[in-house]
Chain A
Amino acid sequence: MNETTPTREDGDVDQTMRREPFVFTGTAREYFGIWLVNVFLTILTLGIYSAWAKVRRMRFFHGSTWLGDASFEYHARPGQILLGRIIALALIATYNLALYFAPGFSIVLAIGFFLALPYLVMRGLRFRARVTSYRNVRFDFEGGYWGALLAYVAGGVLTWGTLGVLAPVASRWIWSYTLGNLTYGGRPIDCDPRLEKLFGQWWLPAILFGGGILLFLIGSVALGYLYGSELADIVGGGGGVGTLTAGVLALIYVGFLPLIVLYVIVGLLYHAGSRNAAVSETVIDGRHALASTLGRWRYVWISITNLIATVFTLGLLRPWAAVRMARYLAICTAVDTVGALDSYIDTITDEGAAVGAEYMDVEGLDFGF
């Protein structure tokens, strides 16, 4: 009916601004059973059940996330997910086999992969948006191929090429692509995070990481000078290595793990900061403004203790960890609403295929809206 001119329903006169926080009502108790049955059946069926498991998991997390007096809903069907997973795994397998069979064409294959990636990301984001609804009205995603190419391929090259110095530029592309192309009930969602805000979230992790690398280098040189000859015997395996090399080698043995931990921490710090910056610049339908107030260190703390708890309980605390994170992300997100949130009309007629979404899923690409 209203396909071409999506509208709000009439009678929308309330213009006062209210802060409406997101609330996550799911509990670890509740999720534990769902999770355990999911894992059990997934292993039992050698992965086939994972499509049904995903639907149950996503329905739990969407359905437990409330805004005002309504929760989000997840509508994907297991059949769609299964087909998407089969195609995605076949694509990954074919790509890897092709690399193996025809190593001479590896450059061609890599280029092909980087040209296909934006398409998969675009389709994936679209599917995810279209199977998500709030108050019976679905989201949609209108981003195109070139936006994804800029955000993910060019953004990646820019970030790695400048060793992270220009990461905020890439973040800006990514956030405005993923959030800014969403629509709700046919109405646009705008996201245009300012560069200076993203750089404001960037310098702390950057200094920490730079400082860590510097310490690492100074430490290895110092070790080399002080204990080089003793270390040479231990790390060199009897071969003749110089004292400085021995210092570097010793520090690589000792310092590798701390460096990885540091890398993870600064990554999490920056992720939380850029989420705050981007989500706080997001406006739904030109009037409902989103706000994100994650504590960066708190976010790092939760992520790392979650991982430790999960690993040391051989996975048994994973449901608790997942619920804890969902709860924290929800509390720290709110919408400043102007007028009612229930005056939108659904305009989605077709969900599209799940291939892209499942590709992002199995490859571990996650953009966490």
Chain B
Amino acid sequence: MAFEPAVTGTWHAARSGRDIAAELFVFDEDTAAVRDTQTGAILARGTRSSLVVSRRVGSVPRRIGFPDDSVFVSRDNDGVDRLLADTIGHGSRWLVEIERFRPRLIVLVAAVALLAVGVYRFAVPLLVEAAVLATPEIVPELMSKGVLASLDETAFSQSMLSEQRRAGIATGFHELAALAPRGAARFDLQFRSGGSIGPNAFALPDGTIVITDELIELAGSDDDLVLGVLGHEIGHVEHDHSLRQLYRAAGVVGLIMVIGGDVGSGVQDLLVQGSALLALSYSRRQERDADRYSVEIMARAGRDPAAIARFFELMRTRFGDTGDSAILTTHPATGERIEETRRYAAEIAQNGPAVPSD
């Protein structure tokens, strides 16, 4: 009667936990059935296409659902595959075949390693670029408003500088901003008294640039020094650095999260910490980019391209920052930045003002 030897297993009536020793066999060309091992009575039957056969995973028991919701369970995976070959999709067989523990898996190990590096080096940056392009302008605006509002609340107060000093710096700033591809209208210079934050300047993603009184006072009457710093901040805005950093961190953490179940929670934590370290190196690269931007834009504005280097020197003598470019810092070492910006300024002075790199 049966075309193939029957497969032994256990049968459950719909919703029942009761085990009944049974055999699965092929009834005729397109019908499969289950019979009671002891009595031989037919317990369930169905056309092969109506059966729901669970996909094979290792040596885990197979589950075959019948139209009446009864279930046949068997540990004989090969037997089930043989008996119901037509019902089981080729996709899952192919997967099971690859998963077998064979020397050829080494190739897959190598592929995973290459792929992981490839995704991190190429796919993530590409997705970040796409996300930056797809970001509507309202997003950086909202982000910037939020950050500035909370800083105003917690640390900043109104600028105490004279109207005249501010106007001087603002004029210089607009000249610089006019040279940036997105144009002066997209930038907005804000003066604040820094409070606990002290001498500082930073760029918000919508083009708002904030500079504190303390930094301007530190520069004395040297406007180029202040403008060098502002050129650096314009560079951050022009290159969408904050958006890039945000998307990159989100993308990497998201990838780690979805793979978390496969690597275990301990390794997942280590990966998250590791990606934070890599994000810092990314941040140092952005700082170097912005430094170069300042040198370029100052040269094009006909100002001292090495102004930013002089600013770093001033910071160094004032605050004694002599640290190395350690892996735990967001900014490169001051000494290194001075050297590099001076070198680049000299290079530009020789070759004439360059077009800002993009």
Question: Closest A-chain residue to B266, C-beta based?
Answer: A307
B85 in the interface, Cβ–Cβ < 8 Å? no
Partner among A53, A63, A135, A361 whose Cβ is within 8 Å of the Cβ of B60: A63
CB proximity of A157 to chain B, nearest CB, Å: 23
* Residues of B144-174 whose CB lies within 8 A of A: 145-147, 149-150, 153
Surface stretch bound by A, among B33-41, B101-109, B215-223, B288-296: B101-109
- Whether B105 pairs with A36 at a CB distance below 8 angstroms is yes
Beyond A42-B262, A43-B112, A104-B153, whether A59 also contacts B60 by CB under 8 A is yes
* Chain A proximity mask over B103-129: 1 for CB below 8 Å, otherwise 0: 001001101110110010001000100
Of B60, B100, B265, chain A has the most CB atoms within 10 Å of the CB of B60
For chain B, the count of residues having a C-beta within 8 Å of the partner chain is 62
B320 in the interface, Cβ–Cβ < 8 Å? yes
A119 in the interface, Cβ–Cβ < 8 Å? no
Main secondary structure of the interface of A (DSSP, over half): helix
A209 in the interface, Cβ–Cβ < 8 Å? no
* Number of residue pairs spanning A and B whose beta carbons lie under 8 angstroms apart: 183
B78 in the interface, Cβ–Cβ < 8 Å? no
- Whether B17 pairs with A63 at a CB distance below 8 angstroms is no
* Chain B proximity mask over A302-317: 1 for CB below 8 Å, otherwise 0: 0100110011001110
A321 to B113, CA, bound (A): 20
B318 in the interface, Cβ–Cβ < 8 Å? no
- Whether A316 pairs with B258 at a CB distance below 8 angstroms is no
- Whether A135 pairs with B17 at a CB distance below 8 angstroms is yes
- Whether B100 pairs with A46 at a CB distance below 8 angstroms is no
Main secondary structure of the interface of B (DSSP, over half): helix
A71 to B126, CA, bound (A): 45
A64 to B59, CA, bound (A): 8
Of A62, A102, A103, A307, chain B has the most CB atoms within 10 Å of the CB of A103
Partner among B17, B100, B262 whose Cβ is within 8 Å of the Cβ of A53: B262
Q: Report A-chain residues with C-beta under 8 Å of the C-beta of B116.
A: 43
Beyond A44-B115, A46-B255, A54-B261, whether A60 also contacts B17 by CB under 8 A is no
For the complex of A and B, list the 3 residue pairs with the smallest distance between their C-beta atoms, beginning with the closest: A63-B60, A33-B99, A136-B12
* Given A70-B10, A89-B257, A237-B322, 4 further pairs, Cβ under 8 A: A37-B98, A39-B259, A59-B57, A136-B12
- Residues of B in contact with A (beta carbons under 8 Å apart): 10, 12, 15-19, 54-55, 57-61, 63, 71, 73, 95, 98-101, 105, 108-109, 111-113, 115-116, 119, 123, 127, 142-143, 145-147, 149-150, 153, 246, 250, 254-255, 257-270, 320, 322-323
8 contacts between A and B (CB under 8 A): A40-B111, A44-B115, A53-B262, A100-B143, A307-B267, A318-B262, A322-B264, A342-B18
